[in-house]
Copies of this chain bind each other. A is one copy, B any other.
Amino acid sequence: MFVLASASKARQKLLDQIALRHKVIVSDFDETQLQEPDPILKVKLLAKAKADSALKKLIEENHALNTYQALLGCDSLFEFKGEIFEKPIDKEQLISRWQRMSGQSGFLHTGHCLISLDNSKSDRESISQNNSCDGVVSTRIEFMNLSNFEINKYASTSEPYNCAGGFAIEGNGGLFIKKIDGCFSNVIGLSLPWLKNNLEKFGLSRLLLDR
């Protein structure tokens, strides 16, 4: 079994899409603790912090570690002209961001931290240090030109408030994205090709497409 250290429904759906059976353990890490201006370093550190926090929970809650083979922490943010756009805090911020993003482009960065648990150790430090790998995948996103009417209509739905950058490509937001350049699933919340490559490194490919 695989552990996803994220409450994101979009990430859970991506794992379902590739038939990767998983359990969700949401980390306790307080993201506001981390002040880091570099977007790529920030998602990398947050993904690792979430993975470590979920691993700690897994050990503390006395889960039988040998029933789990791997654990993944992820964090996404949108970089727009050097600024970091995380989940919008309110409607006003969302509308003002979309007015700037309309017709422009930016980068969706997702940090990944994968920890292999496929061994008999139960000491958090030795697991996390010896059997983990991390990586950031970045996808360029180009937006359509949007009218204020369209922006206001989108801002009146709940969808954008739960997404880094204020859009869900797999939802209504798909209408506003002209093109992307890079990994597609990365925009939804985790890069499936990254996960495939790194599960292979740990000899855990059997977890994929497991029906």
Contact = CB atoms under 8 A, between A and B. Distances in A.
Contacts of A179: 139, 181-184, 193
Interface in A146-161: 153-154, 157
Most buried by B among A19, A174, A208, A209: A174
Nearest to A187: B184
A183 B175 contact: no
A84 interface: no
A59 to B, nearest CB: 30
A154 B211 CA distance: 12
A192 B174 CA distance: 7
Interface stretch (A72-80, A90-98, A99-107, A165-173): A165-173
Contacts of A187: 184
A180 B184 contact: yes
Interface in A184-199: 184-185, 187, 192-193, 196-197
Given A181-B179, A183-B179, A208-B175, A193 B144 contact: yes
A177 interface: yes
A209 B17 contact: no
Copy count, this protein chain: 2
A178 interface: yes
Given A144-B196, A193-B144, A209-B153, A178 B170 contact: no
Contacts of A14: 174
Nearest to A145: B197
Contact of A169 (B19, B178, B184, B196): B184
Contacts of A196: 144, 175
Contacts of A175: 18, 192-193, 196, 208-209
Interface of A: 14, 17-19, 139, 144, 153-154, 157, 169-172, 174-185, 187, 192-193, 196-197, 208-209
Q: Which 6 A-B pairs have the closest CB atoms?
A: A181-B181, A18-B175, A175-B192, A179-B182, A174-B192, A178-B193
